[in-house]
Amino acid sequence: MTNVTTVMEFLLLGFSEVRDLQLVHAALFLLLYLMALMGNLLIIAITTLDRRLHAPMYFFLRNLSILDLCLITVTVPKSIHNSLTNDRSISFLGCVLQVFLALSSIFTELVILTVMSYDRYVAICHPLHYEVIMNRGACVKMATASWLSGGLSAVLHTASTFSLSFCGSNVVGQFFCDIPQLLTISCSPDLFREVVPICVNVAFDFCCFVGIIMSYIHIMATVLRIPATEGRTKAFSTCLPHLVVITLFLSMGFFAYLKTPSDSPSVMDLVVSVFYTAVPPVLNPLIYSLRNRDMKVTVGKFLKGKFCTREKSLHISHLA
């Protein structure tokens, strides 16, 4: 039998029904969005314009920044708009696009993070073979495979989710369209077609996490053999924040997708979703890029150049 979808729009859940708290939520989300926007756009700009930053590591960082921008843009601005206008509605097509773009960004980002950990493993553990293994062609292939696999996974999940019937409640218990909450309000008797892809994807995500952990274990084992204490400290101060952000990103995602669905979502559900959709795009520029010495030097030169250019133009206009 063909599923018949009678729900034409969905209602997203807000963080509060109190008007003042809605404005506070909008202000906080706007602050997070602007921080992510500035940080990631800056990284994309300087890694594109500065030829010294065309190494594989910065190539993958640029991909990560693009994904972070996509993820936070898909989810946060709509929530800000809903809080400011006190209108929680989202069209059926808008919900479909939000699910696809959010999942595509999340899946692709995880694969990119795995590739980045492998890149660091090769650079630290096999430095003599780094240029051969991580050549330009290999990097492009890895990035392309990451985007294609993320897009394909998102297509499968989105198609299986919206092939279900939504003929009852249209209230999504989340501040954006999320699959676990959509399954909760579906009136289809058989959810097996979507549960299986979720389980397969969770297993794939876990394998990526294991790959990341193994890469960093080998990296740390190599670093411990470095005689200089300063070198070991620098390496650990770089690796540990990476692992913290990745663990936070994956653990919150696993919690959201594997916990027993509830008809009355709690504030904890909303907070957890923030930690895997809005927080990583803000932290990643700080953890992966702006703490890097070469990146900080380039950013400093970029800002100094802009400042000097502005001062020179003002001086010329003053003399004129």
DSSP-derived 3-state class of residue 90: strand
Of the listed ranges 31-35, 60-64, 140-144, 176-180, the least confidently predicted one is 176-180
> At residue 108, does pLDDT exceed 90?
yes
Of the listed ranges 25-29, 63-67, 86-90, 287-291, the least confidently predicted one is 287-291
d(CA 233, CA 1): 63
Q: Locate the domains of the chain by residue range.
A: 9-315
- The domain 9-315 having CATH identifier 1.20.1070.10: the answer here is yes
Q: Spell out the SS3 assignment of 209-234.
A: HHHHHHHHHHHHHHHHCCCCHHHHHH
Mean pLDDT, all residues of the chain? 81
Look at 235 and 24; give whichever has higher pLDDT. Answer: 24
Write the pLDDT tens digit of every residue in 197-214: 777 777 888 888 899 989
Look at 201 and 191; give whichever has higher pLDDT. Answer: 201
Ramachandran area for residue 203 (φ above 0: left; ψ -120 to 50: alpha; else beta): alpha
Question: pTM of the prediction?
Answer: 0.85
d(CA 250, CA 203): 12
Write the pLDDT tens digit of every residue in 271-304: 888 888 888 898 888 887 666 676 777 777 766 7
Write the pLDDT tens digit of every residue in 6-54: 678 888 887 777 888 888 989 999 999 999 999 899 889 888 888 887 8
Contact 176, 102 (CB under 8 A): yes
Convert 97-134 to b/e letters by CB count within 10 Å (16 or more is b): ebbbbbbbbbbbbbbbbbbbbbbbbbbbeeeeebeeeb
What does the DSSP 8-state code read for residue 86? Answer: T
